[in-house]
Amino acid sequence: MTDVAADPENAAELRDQVVDTLIRDGVIVSPQVEAAMRRVPRHRFTPEATVEEAYRPYAAVVTKKNEHGISISSVSAPQIQAMMLEQAAIEPGMRVLEIGSGGYNAALIAELVGDSGQVTTVDIDQDVTARAERLLAENGYPQVRVVLADAEDGLAAHAPYDRIIVTAGAWDIPPAWITQLTERGRLVVPLRLRGLTRSIAFERRGGHLLGLSARACGFVPMQGAGAHQEQLLLLCGTDEIGLRFDDGLPGDPSLLDNTVRTPRLEVWTGVVVGRTELVDTLQLYLATALPGFCIMAVDPALDTGLVEPNHPSFSLAAVDGGNFAYLRVRPTADDRSVEYGIHAFGPQREAFAEKMAGHVRTWAREHRGGPGPQIRVFPARTPDEQLPGHLVLDKKHSRVTFSWPSATAADQAVPPASSEGDDHR
């Protein structure tokens, strides 16, 4: 490491405060990750930000924007980086591939693998790799290999890897990310699942992946061959209400043309949760249980009150033919809890509202407080009869399966993936 004498006086103090906060919040749980994050000077890898901005525990630092002002590269929040490193369980001597460069995270990985390990970081953007290479060399990590490439095919030259960590939002898992792992090696990837993103730690088991843990997160999307655009459906032919579909539009979108102009039905489920209760599994449950699942967003500047979401930019929703519904909450009398409800539109709105409400009740009865689904990934060619799980999401390269164990199940042959989050949407 380089001399720290020129660092701002409060840099080390701010760095320790971040680590202390993440330990208190249960994000950092291992002494190895703690030591790495106390040692690597994050502010030196984020020259675009002030020292105070660099050490905000739950905030990313944007390092590059496109011509529309949209972030296309960033140094992730310390909380996200610590979370994914804990999921990866990196040990000294390991060979690690990072897909998506920034410099700081590669330095943390270098601390974890030690002198006997190897770290390769790859990015598709020459500006990003040049920046990462410069910052790593300036701050005492010249041993980290920086490569300019599209990582859709991994990086065979330095494989196999004990760990692959992806730091961009991926819609799919290319075959190379599996075949370039050692047996029982881990892939940690922010995987998009019907509009929801989860950082999932997978372990290689032969030709498929077994999910070990899942955590809510958000990342800039993958570029290059692995890029995938969600599709937007505008209701009523205006920009007021948009539905985002991650796996293709419904069969006949025209059936929804005037749905939100039908009378709105309100149904309350009787499912009450505390304002601080972790309910992230509800998002995944609805995404896997409802075939027409999507995300609704309302433009505040154009809002005419046709819908009343709790979160204008992100509401869980679903469609079925000419019917449309979204999840809503209302406070209880003591204002310490909220109750889930449904707003539904369309010719069969009563039946559709009850269907969606039934899924919320099933989650509350069978999966609330549970570990979340067991997630596995198989090659795209895998026949249906060889797939476990209650739901299969088909992607270009892979088939992702979900199995939902009961929250009260005493024995699980394989530990399900856990989830975190407290967003009542």
Residue 365, classed as helix, strand or coil, is helix
CB 263 within 8 A of CB 324: no
Residue with tokens 């270098």: 110
Q: How far apart, in Å, do the first and last CA atoms of the chain sit? A: 44
C-alpha span between 416 and 285 (Å, rounded): 14
CB 359 within 8 A of CB 289: yes
For the chain, how many residues are written? Answer: 425
C-alpha span between 174 and 401 (Å, rounded): 16
C-alpha span between 252 and 78 (Å, rounded): 43
* Nearest in space to 166 (alpha carbons), one of 91, 261, 84: 84
One-letter amino acid at 402 equals F
**Cα–Cα separations (whole angstroms), residue 358 to 267, 340, 342:** 11, 11, 10
Active-site residue, from 73, 76, 101, 403? 76
Residue with tokens 């804990």: 86
Distance of CA 58 to the CA centre of its chain: 15
Where are the alpha helices (H) located in 267-407, listed in sequence order? 280-289, 349-362
Where are the alpha helices (H) located in 260-319, listed in sequence order? 280-289
Does the annotation mark 76 as catalytic? yes
Q: Is 327 left (phi over 0), alpha (psi -120 to 50) or beta?
A: beta
Phi first, then psi, for residue 314 (nearest 5°) are -160, 105
Catalytic residue ranges: 76
